[in-house]
Amino acid sequence: MSSDPYGDRGNRDRSIANPDGMGEIDGTRPAGTARPGAGGAFLEGHAMTGGYGRGADILHDCTIAVERGEIAVIVGPNGAGKSTAMKAVFGMLDIRQGAVLLDGEDITALSPQARVRKGMGFVPQTNNIFTSMTVEENLEMGAFIRRDDFRQTMEQVYDLFPILKEKRRQPAGELSGGQRQQVAVGRALMTKPKVLMLDEPTAGVSPIVMDELFDRIIEVARTGIPILMVEQNARQALEIADRGYVLVQGRNAYTDTGAALLANPEVRRSFLGG
C-alpha cells in the first residue's frame, strides 16, 4: 500500500481521536477508547430480507454493520440494493426477515423518528436538504428532536465545514453539489448522533471535492461517531474503510476489511475496474 495516494487517510490511527473535538457532539467516548469487542457491531442490519410494500424482495439475507470507532463502506453495482439496505437499517421499509440491532438492542420495530431519538443519523441519497431554506435553517431543522441549546453543536458543524458558516444566510439550493452534501451531513450531525449513515455522500462532485468530503468524514469518525456509508467511488471509499461490503442483487457478495477487498483480484476485476 506504500504507493497508495490515500494510504495516510484511513482512520486507523486511534491516537488522533480528539477529545475536545466533535466527540462532544454525541457524548460518547472518542474512537481511541472504544471498548474492544463489546457486544459486536454498534449498528447492524442482520440477515435482512424484504422489499418495498408488497413488491418482490430486494434484499436477500443481507447484512451490513459498523463497529464502534470504525468506517464501514457498502459498494456494488447500480440497483444492487445498497440504498434499500440503508433504508431498511433506518426503518424506512419493513423487512420480512432479519433484524436491526443498535448497541445490542433490537430496534427492528422502531420508526425512523424513534431511531433518530436512539442516536441514528441518516443522510439519504436524494432530497437530503431543504433547498428553499437557508443553510442555517437546514441545520436548525436537523436539531428538531432537541430541546436543549444546540448552538454549540452548530458551531462544531461550522468548524467542520467553514464554508457553511460563510453561506449560512443563503438558500441551500444555491450552493454547489459538494456544499449541499456538507449541509446534509451537518444537518444529520445536529442531532448529536451516536452513529452516522451516509448514502453516496460524494455523488456528483469533482474528485477534489470528493477527497475533501472523505477527509471530513474521517474527521467525524475520529470523534467517535461510527460511519456506515454507501459509495459509488468504490476504490477511494474502500481506502478509508475499516470494513467493506460488496452487495450484488440484494445479497452480500464479499465482506472483508477495506484493504483486503482492494487486494482481492475478483473484487478488483468485477467492481473496481481491474
Ligand X SMILES: Nc1ncnc2c1ncn2[C@@H]1O[C@H](COP(=O)(O)OP(=O)(O)O)[C@@H](O)[C@H]1O
Tell me which residues touch Mg ion (CB under 5 A): 82-83, 125
258 touches ligand X by CB under 6 A: no
Q: Which candidate, 121, 186, 201, 131, places its Cα nearest to that of 154?
A: 186
For ligand X, the closer of residues 40 and 79 by Cβ is 79
For ligand X, the closer of residues 54 and 169 by Cβ is 54
Binding mask 132-161 for ligand X (x = CB under 6 A): ------------------------------
For ligand X, the closer of residues 57 and 103 by Cβ is 57
Residue 93 to residue 226: CA distance in whole angstroms: 23
190 binds, among ligand X, Mg ion, none (CB under 5 to 8 A by kind): none
Specify the residue for cell string 473535538.
Answer: 21
For Mg ion, the closer of residues 83 and 108 by Cβ is 83
78 binds, among Mg ion, ligand X, none (CB under 5 to 8 A by kind): ligand X
CB of 139 to ligand X, least distance (A): 26
Point out the residue whose Cβ comes nearest to Mg ion: 83
Residue 148 to residue 170: CA distance in whole angstroms: 25
CB of 196 to ligand X, least distance (A): 18
179 binds, among ligand X, Mg ion, none (CB under 5 to 8 A by kind): none
Residues 49-108 that bind ligand X (CB under 6 A): 52, 55, 58, 76, 78-84
CB of 64 to Mg ion, least distance (A): 13
For Mg ion, the closer of residues 89 and 160 by Cβ is 89
DSSP string, the chain: -TT-TTTT-SS--GGG--TTTTHHHHTSPPGGGPPTTSSS-SEEEEEEEE-STTS--SEEEEEEEE-TT-EEEEE-STTSSHHHHHHHHHTSS--SEEEEEETTEE-TT--HHHHHHTTEEEE-SSS-S-TTSBHHHHHHHHTTT--S--HHHHHHHHHH-HHHHHTTTSBGGGS-HHHHHHHHHHHHHTT--SEEEEESTTTT--HHHHHHHHHHHHHHHHTT--EEEE-SSHHHHHHT-SEEEEEETTEEEEEEEHHHHHH-HHHHHHHS--
52 binds, among ligand X, Mg ion, none (CB under 5 to 8 A by kind): ligand X
For ligand X, the closer of residues 5 and 53 by Cβ is 53
79 binds, among ligand X, Mg ion, none (CB under 5 to 8 A by kind): ligand X
**Residues within the interface to ligand X (CB under 6 A):** 52, 55, 58, 76, 78-84
